[in-house]
Structure 1
Amino acid sequence: MRSKCAISSGEEDGGEVLQIASLSSYVSGNPDSITAIILVSDIFGFEAPKLRQLADKVAAAGYYVLVPDFLFGDYWTPETQLDDWTKKHAPEQTVEFAKPVVQALKEKGISKLGSAGFCWGAKAVADLAKEAEIQVAALLHPNFVTLDDIKGVKVPIAILGAEFDEFSPPELVKEFEAALVANEVYHFVKIYPGVGHGWAIRYNDDNPTEVKSAKEAQQDLVDWFGKTFKDLTLLENCYYSHVNSRGKSVGKCSL
């Protein structure tokens, strides 16, 4: 199971903190890339070392990666009642903080945009995916995400869950998958054995099972973005090649 104290690491960050849409954001990767990925933190915030290391890993695949501080420096601590903290940081409100970041990236010249959310942050990404504010989404050990949220998703989405997760148990993740299948939404769903909620960025370095599964999930995330952005480009090219001069479709394209 996940260690709730596994929040530090000796590895150094490879990015920097900048102001994006008036929010402090950890930024990593090529600023000239036309593809950006927004990572939305869990309740421990954007300073978490392993989250920043994951941002660097995603950036190494060629993306411009941002981890905005949607919690405004007010991160949860074990001394704080979670219910009281959540009232101040309602997950369903976070999407409104995310939209200016999306707009700032578009104004910067970003033409392809994805987002991944972890635990608390998964709700904001699900909401962005429901409003098609992004092109590719991913939820890792999600919390606060409902079946109705998933039924409303309009873009390709990956959902990575844990075998032992009190917030999104495997049974719920399978319901999410069934909804995506029913709505014909391009998706990737996977449940990782032997790990608990938060393992992807809060794994215990001394637990080989957690380390292995976390690294596997992180690589799956990178691969998901790479494959899906590529497929979307092929789909776009296919669409234009099957539309005649009058704008009428003369063929079929699908993922």
Structure 2
Amino acid sequence: MSIPAASHLAIPPGDHCLSGNLHTGDTRGKVEIIEEAPTYITSPRPGKGNGNILFYYPDVHGFYNNAMLLMDAFADAGYTVFGIDYFRDDPIWKHRKDKDDTTTDPDFDHAAWRDKHASFARATVPKWTRAIAETYGKGTTKYCCVGYCFGAPYVLDSLTAEGFITAGAFAHPGALTDEQFHSLAKPLLLSCAENDHAFPAEKWQKAQRILQEAGKKYQIQFFQGVSHGFAVRCNLDDPYERYVKEQSYRGIVEWFNFWLSQ
């Protein structure tokens, strides 16, 4: 079957990715360098591990408290978690006009920043995941991956027929192409927001048609009334936003638990 030329189904990250809330709490992981990339490593509580590994591809904020707390939560679900900082201490929030602003500095070249880090991520994520599997994996270990915003394309790239990762998930994605959905060979969960101009309804519905017509294994979570960033940067003081964030997390955990048990 011929694959159509690539077109964008989710637009690249922009200033909309600077909105959201910071979450407080103590994190428990450590950071090591693996394949030139700072790597957040967090483990299950003693006696609670399932023996499997989860790769975490962060949003444009990289290693910040929200992401590390979420990685710790996936560890609480039984997974040994490895998160990659493909920004190498150059996250988007360092380029805001000021610490309370949700727009970037007018002199900041967003496209150049994005292209630089995307180039590093495309080259590094495959060898990074393989190095971790070879060092930390065992014969019975299975692997999954989750990506948020900037990290979503690397989920799809990890789920080709040639890859060793069993299942993947993303939430409020950016920079996806239809070709990536055509090339998908492993189960994928899509966690989507009603108000997401980076991945609006007509785009995720087109992605669904590609997956459905090709007989891919997929699940879509669709949450009313929330926006881009809801799964990582929601307002935890809002009961509904907290509920949606937790539902996205629980759905992803259950998705991984099922497919890695097969």
| TM-score normalized with structure 1 length | 0.82
Change (3 A) 1:3 1:18: closer
Q: Secondary structure at the match of 1:55?
A: helix
- Equivalent residues of 2:51, 2:78 under 8 A apart: no
In structure 1, C-alpha distance between the alignment counterparts of 2:247 and 2:50, rounded to whole Å: 25
- How far 1:208 sits from its partner (Å)? 2.6
Partner SS, residue 123 of structure 2: helix
- 1:78-104 superposed Cα distances (whole Å, 9 cap, x missing partner): 2234223212223x6523211122112
1:106 pairs, out of 133, 140, 152, with: 133
CA deviations over 1:176-234 (Å, ceiling 9, x no partner): 1221122222111111111011110011223332222111111111111111111xx3x
Q: How does 1:19-34 map to 2 (within 5 A)?
A: 19-30=33-44, 34=51
Extract structure 1 runs of 4+ deviating beyond 6 A.
none
User: Counterparts of 1:64-103 in structure 2 under 5 Å?
Assistant: 64-77=80-93, 78-79=104-105, 80-90=108-118, 94-103=121-130
SS of aligned partner of 2:20: coil
Unaligned runs of 5+ residues in structure 2 are 1-15, 94-103
Query: Which has more radius of gyration?
Result: 1
Which of 167, 174, 180 aligns to 2:198? It is 167
Structure 1 residue 5: Cα displacement: 4.3
Name stretches of at least 5 consecutive residues in structure 1 with no aligned partner. Answer: 234-255
Match of 1:40 among 40, 50, 57: 57
SS at match of 1:199: coil
Larger relative contact order, structure 1 or 2 (CA cutoff 8 Å, min sep 6): 2
Number of residues of Structure 1 aligned to a counterpart in Structure 2: 228
Aligned ranges for residues 215-230 of structure 1 at < 5 Å? 215-230=246-261
Letter in 2 for 1:123: P
Distance apart, 1:16 and its partner CA: 1.5
Secondary structure of 2:203's match? helix
3-state DSSP of counterpart to 1:117: strand
Mapping 1:185-200, distance limit 5 Å: 185-200=216-231
| TM-score, normalised via structure 2 length | 0.80
Q: Percent identity?
A: 25
Q: Within 2, Cα distance between the matches of 1:3 and 1:101?
A: 25
The alpha-carbon deviation at position 28 of structure 1 amounts to 0.8
1:37 CA displacement: 0.6
